[in-house]
Structure 1
Amino acid sequence: MDHGDPTRAHAPDRRALLRGTLAASAALSMPVLASGASAAPAHLLRRSAPAAKWGVQAGDVTSSSGLVWTRADRPARMLVETAPTEAFRNPRRWHGPLLGPETDFTGRVAVHGLPPGEQIHYRVTLLDPDDGRRAGEPERGTFRTAPRQQHAGVRFVWSGDLAGQGWGINPDRGGYRIFEEMRRLDPDFYLNSGDTIYADSPIEASVPLPDGSTWRNVTTEEKSKVAETLAEFRGNFRYNLLDAHLRRFNAQVPTVAQWDDHEVLNNWYPGEILDDDRYTEKDVDTLAARSLRAFSEYLPVTTLPPRDEDGRVYRVVHHGPLLDVFVLDMRSHRNANSPGRQPEDRQGILGAAQLKWLKRALSRSRATWKVIASDMPISLVVPDGETDVEAVAQGDPGAPLGRELQLAELLRHIKHDGITGTVWFTTDVHHTAAHRYDPDRAAFGDFTPFWEFVSGPLNAGGFPALKLDATFGPVQRFLKAPEKANTPPSEGGQYFGQVDIDGTTREMTVRLREQGGAVLFTQTLHPGSA
C-alpha cells in the first residue's frame, strides 16, 4: 500500500500561479447562506451590477479548447477573458450569451485556439444587458490545456455520488471537505462519474445519527421534495454549488461529467411508469427530459445543447497523446431492467448506436491509455427490487446473457482489433474496489485482461459490497465497504481515486483514496497492455 502523495514536476509552479488567482477570488471561499446569497463584505460587491454567486467552472478541456460556465443572479451578458498569467495583460475576449430565465441564468462559452500544455487563466465578467458600463466583479478560474507532447504527464481524480440519501451540506463538518482534498492534489481534471445530484433524495434540516447525535443540513425549497419540475431539477444543481469547497474546486479543476440514475431517480430506465406516491408526474421520460435540460444548463459538457441537437451525454474527450476518455451513458439508451437472462439482447445497456460509436472510437484512438468512464460497474450485481438487475451482471456465472451480451461484443472487438490500454473507471455502488478481469477464469474468455476501478461516494451514504458475477472472470484485488446500508459520511467511507500517467515511462498508477488522506490501494499498469 502507498501512503505517499507524489506530485508532478510542473505542479509546484502551477500552485504558485494559483495563489494569486484564488486570493483574488476570495469570495469563493466566503460562507454561503442557505438562500444562496454570498456573505462577502459589501465593498467586494457591486450591488447595481449582475453577480456570479455560484462561481465558475470549466469542462471538457482539450489541448486547444474548453467550455467556461457561470450563473448570474439576474439577466446579464457573459464576457470571458483568457490570458497566460493572472495579470491579464492583453487578454483574449470571448463574448458570450445573454443569460436569462430560459436557461435559469446559466451560460457557457467555448474558448478555443488555446496553446497546448499551458496554464490558462480566465475570468468571467457579467455585464448589465441594458448598460454595458455596469459590470459585476470578475470571477476567476484556471485550467491547464492538455499537452501535445507526452513528457508532461497527466493526473486526474475521479468519483461521484454527491449528497445522496439525505446527507447534504453539513455546516458543522465544514461542508463538502473532500473536494478540498482533491483540489490539493492539483489534478488536470476531475472525472465526475455520475449521480452529480440526487434528485430523488430530499434533504431535511436534521437527521438523527446512530450514536444519538444529529446531522445538520443546509436546506433549500427545491431540495425539500423529490424533483419533478424543471425548476426543482435546476434547484438540485444549485444546491451543491452552495458549498464553498466545491466552488473553489470548480474554479481550479475542470470537469468531465457524465450522468447516472439519481440525476432523475433511482434505477430509472426509458419508458418506465412510476408506482411511487412521492411523484405526481409518473412518466419517467418526462422527468428525464427535464433533468437532462438542467444537467446541460449547469455542467460544461460539449455534446449537450446547444452544441449537439441530440443532447448526447456519451462522447470522447482527448487529453493529449497519453489519454483519451470515453464517457459512456448507460442510462438513456438501455432497455428495461429485468432478471437479465434473455439469450438475445440487441439494445442492452448502451443501445446499438452508442455501442457502434464506442467500438469505432476505440479503434480510431491512438492514445496510450483509453479510459472507459462507465457510470455503472461491469460485474457487480446491482439489484433493482427482488428479481431485476440494474447494471450489466445478473448473478449467473455462466455464458453471457441479457446485457452481458453487449459487453461481450465490446470486449471481443477490443481484443480482435488489437486495442490496448483500456481501463474502466466507475462509481455508483458507494464503496471502493479494484477488479482484475482474467479470461482464464471466465465463462466468456474471448477478451484480453483488463482492470476496473471503483470509487465513491463523495458525500452520501456508504453501502456494503455486492456480489461479483464470474462471467467475465473478475478477481477482487481490493475492497473497502461498510457492513451496513446507508452508513452516514460522519462514520467515514467517502472515497475518490487518483490516476497518474508518467510522461516518461507512460505507466499509469491508480490510487484508491479515502477522505482524510489515506491511500488504500495502489496499482501501476504498463503501457501496451492493461
Structure 2
Amino acid sequence: MQNTRRDFLLRSAALSAALSLPVSRVLAQPRFDRNPFVLGVASGYPQPEAVVLWTRLAPDPLHGGGMPEAPVAVHWEIAADVRFRKIIDRGEAIATPQFAHAVHVQARGLAPAHWYWYRFMAGDAVSAVGRTRTAPAVDDARGRIAFAIASCQHYEHGHYAAYRDMAQQELDFVVHVGDYIYEGSWGRRDKVREHHTTEPYTLADYRNRYAQYKLDPHLQAAHAACPWLVTWDDHEVDNDYAGDRSQDMDPVDVFLQRRAAAYQAYYEHMPLPPGTWTGGPDMKIYGTHAMGNIARIQLLDMRQYRDYHVCPRQNRKAGGNQVNVLDCPERTQPGRSLLGATQEQWLENALAQSPARWNVIAQTTLMAQADRGIAEERVVYTDGWDGYPAAREKLLRYIAARKIRNPVVLGGDVHFAMAGNLKTDFDDERSPVVASEFVTTSISSLGPARARIEALLAKNPHVKFANGARRGYAKFTVTPRRWETSFRAVVNVADDQSRVYEMANYVIEDRRPGPQRDKS
C-alpha cells in the first residue's frame, strides 16, 4: 500500500497544526483560471421554512482542490424563480482551506412545500443553478410526497445511469443510506472505470476520493434536482468497521485518526447543516426529519455506536462474516446493539411521539432475517441486523406494542432490491406482520449471484420480492392512505446512457402492514 500508517500519523499531525493557524486575509475578489465550481452544487435537510445549500470551490479537484491557502468570500442567493428575479434570501459565506473551501449555508424565510432555485458566486465565477424544495408545513397531512432512496455506488463497478434517471423524476427529496464512496477496490477484473488513487487514509486522500465521485455529471444532476438527506455506512471510512474498531484491528488511536479524516471529508462534501462536524472522530448524523404530517423519517447511524462483530472470518481479525447460527451463539447475546443505547432510546421516543401517518426508519441495510444456508443449514451474515438479532427483536416488539402507525423500514447495502414483511419472530409463520420493508439495489456496485437470491426467497417466506441482477434505486410516492414503491432498474451499468425501467411495483395500504404487488 502506498500510504503507510506512519505516513498517516505524520500527515494527521501536520493537519492538526494547520487547523490551529490564524485565519488569513479573506480573498473577496479571487481570480480563477479554471471553473472553481466543477464539483457542482447540492441542497439538503429541507424544513418548512429553510434548506441547506452546499458547494465546494475546487478548480483542481483531483489534486487537493487547487485553491490558495486563504479564505475566500462566496456569495449565494436563492430565488422563487429560475431567472432569479425574485430573490428570497442571500448572503456571504467564507470558504476556508481548513474545510477544503466547502460551503454550507442555511437559506431561510422560505415557504413550505415550494420549489426554489439557488446559485453561488466567487469572484467572477458563477456556479450551476440548483433546484431545491422545502418540506411541507408541520401540520400538513393533505398532499403527497415523492422521494427516492439510493445506496452503494462503487465508482469502478459502473456508471451512474440510475442518477440520470433519478434527476428526471419529479422528486421532493432523496435519501442516501450509505456507501457514497468506496475506500477500496474489489469484485471485478473488467472495471468500468478506475479509482485514480490508492485506498485513502488521510484527509487529503478522502478529499480526492470524494472529488472523483462528485465529478460524475449524473450524480451532480441528481444533487442539483432536489434536496438530499444522507447517512453513512462502512465504505465512507473502512470496510466493516464497528465503532472504533477497523476490520484489520488497527490500533484504536490510529483508526480514530483515520475515522476523523473520513468524517471531516464526508461533512465537506455532503449538504449537511452547518456545524455538523465540529472536529475529531465523532459526528452526530442521526435525527428526525418531518415531511408534514404525512411522514416522519428517522434517519439512523449504524456504524459509529455499534457493538463489535462476533465470530469474524478466520483470515480477518474483525468485521462481518457468514456464519452457521449453531457455530456462533455469541450473536444472540442480550444487549448487543447495532445502534448503541442512546440512539436506541432516541429512536423509541421519536417513534412514540410521531403524529405522522407513515413512520419511516431509514437505515443502511436489510432488517429482515436472511437465512442464506443450504437445505436445513441456517447461515446468516453478521455485519447487518442478523448479527444483532436481539436488538432487532427489541425494536420490532416496541413497534408492535406501541402500535406505531404504518412503520416502513428502508435500507440498502446488500446490492439487491427487496420487499418484505417484518415480524417479531421470523421463524413463526403465524407471527403477525408489524412493519413493511423496502431495500434498494445498488446504484452501481456488483450484485449477488442469482443462486443466492433464489436461496434467499426459498428459505425466507417473509421476503416477498428480491432481485440482485439489476442496479438502480427505489422510488416512493406517499399519500395519507397509500404508499407506492417503484423499483427502478438499469439495463446496462457499463453504459451511462443506459435505459432505466420499472422492475417491480409494490403498495401498502394505510394501517395494513406488509407490501403487496401492485396489480393495477
Same-fold call, TM > 0.5? yes
Corresponding position: 1:511 with 2:500: no
Contact 1:314 1:328 in 2 (8 A): yes
1:228–1:412 distance in 2 versus 1, CA, 3 Å = same
Distance verdict in 2 for CA 1:424–1:250, change over 3 Å: same
Contact 1:500 1:509 in 2 (8 A): yes
Distance 1:163 1:57 in 2: 20
Equivalents in 1 of 2:301, 2:56: separation in Å?
26
Structure 1 pair 159/444, CA: closer, same or farther in 2 (3 Å)?
Answer: same
- Which of 182, 193, 199 in structure 2 is aligned with 1:217? 193
Q: Residue 499 of structure 1 is aligned with which of 473, 476, 484?
A: 476
SS at match of 1:256: strand
Q: Which runs of 5+ in 2 are unaligned?
A: 1-29, 59-66, 312-327, 373-378, 491-498, 514-520
How far apart are residue 376 of structure 1 and its match? 1.7
3-state SS of the aligned residue for 2:38? coil
Are residues 89 and 461 of structure 1, via their aligned partners in 2, closer, same or farther at CA, if it must alter by over 3 Å? same
After superposing on structure 2, the runs of 4+ consecutive aligned residues of structure 1 that deviate more than 6 Å are 279-282, 444-447
- Please give the residue correspondences for 1:288-299 in structure 2 after superposition, counting only pairs within 5 Å: 288-299=259-270
1:369 aligned to 2:369?
A: no
Structure 1 residues 272 and 314: CA distance shift in structure 2, 3 A: same
| Alignment match of 2:437 (pick from 430, 433, 452) | 452
Question: CA 1:448 to 1:177, structure 2 compared with 1: closer, same or farther past 3 Å?
Answer: closer
Say whether the 8 Å CA contact 1:108–1:300 is kept in structure 2.
yes
What displacement does 1:387 show? 9.4
Match of 2:329 in 1: 341
* TM-score, scaled relative to structure 1: 0.75
Structure 1 contact 323–370 (Cα < 8 Å) conserved: yes
Report the CA distance between 1:124 and its aligned residue.
1.5
Secondary structure of 1:430's aligned partner: coil
- Check whether the contact 2:241–2:247 (CA below 8 A) recurs between aligned residues: no
Equivalence for 1:191: 175
**2:510 equivalent to 1:527:** yes
Deviation at 1:241, TM superposition (A): 1.2
Question: In the alignment, residue 152 of structure 1 is paired with which amino acid?
Answer: G
Aligned to 1:378: 367
Which amino acid letter does the alignment assign opposite residue 142 of structure 1?
R
Cα-Cα RMSD: 3.2
Residues in 1 aligned to 2:504 and 2:132: alpha-carbon distance in whole angstroms: 28
How many residues are aligned here? 436
- Gaps of at least 5 residues in structure 1 are 1-44, 127-133, 169-174, 210-214, 395-402, 483-492
Contact 1:202 1:225 in 2 (8 A): no
List aligned pairs for 1:53-132, cutoff 5 A: 53-73=38-58, 74=67, 75-126=71-122
Equivalent in the alignment of 1:398: none
Note the C-alpha offset of 1:306.
4.8
Residues 478 and 77 (structure 1), Cα distance of their counterparts in 2 relative to 1, 3 Å cut: same
Structure 1 equivalent of residue 164 of structure 2: 180
Task: Tell me if the contact between 1:79 and 1:93 (Cα under 8 Å) persists in the aligned partners.
Answer: no
CA distance in 2, matches of 1:243, 1:497: 20
Q: What TM-score do you get using the length of structure 2 for normalisation?
A: 0.76
Partner secondary structure for residue 385 of structure 2: coil
1:289 counterpart SS class = helix
In the aligned structure 2, how far is the partner of 1:291 from the partner of 1:317?
A: 24
CA distance in 2, matches of 1:410, 1:499: 24
Cα distance between partner residues in 1 of 2:288 and 2:363: 12
Kept in 2, the 8 Å contact 1:433–1:478? The answer is yes
2:236 is matched with 263
State the partner residue of 2:386: 393
Rounded to whole Å, the distance in 2 between the matches of 1:332 and 1:304 is 18
* Secondary structure of residue in 1 paired with 2:296: strand
- 1:221-370 maps to which residues of 2 (within 5 A)? 224-275=197-248, 283-302=254-273, 305-306=276-277, 311-339=283-311, 341-342=329-330, 343-370=332-359
Question: Separation in 1 of the partners of 2:82 and 2:206?
Answer: 35
Secondary structure of 2:126's partner? coil
CA contact (8 A) 2:148 2:174 kept: yes
Deviations 1:429-457 (A, max 9, x none): 11111112345864598875221111121
- Shift of residue 318, structure 1, vs aligned partner: 1.1
Shift of 1:506: 2.9
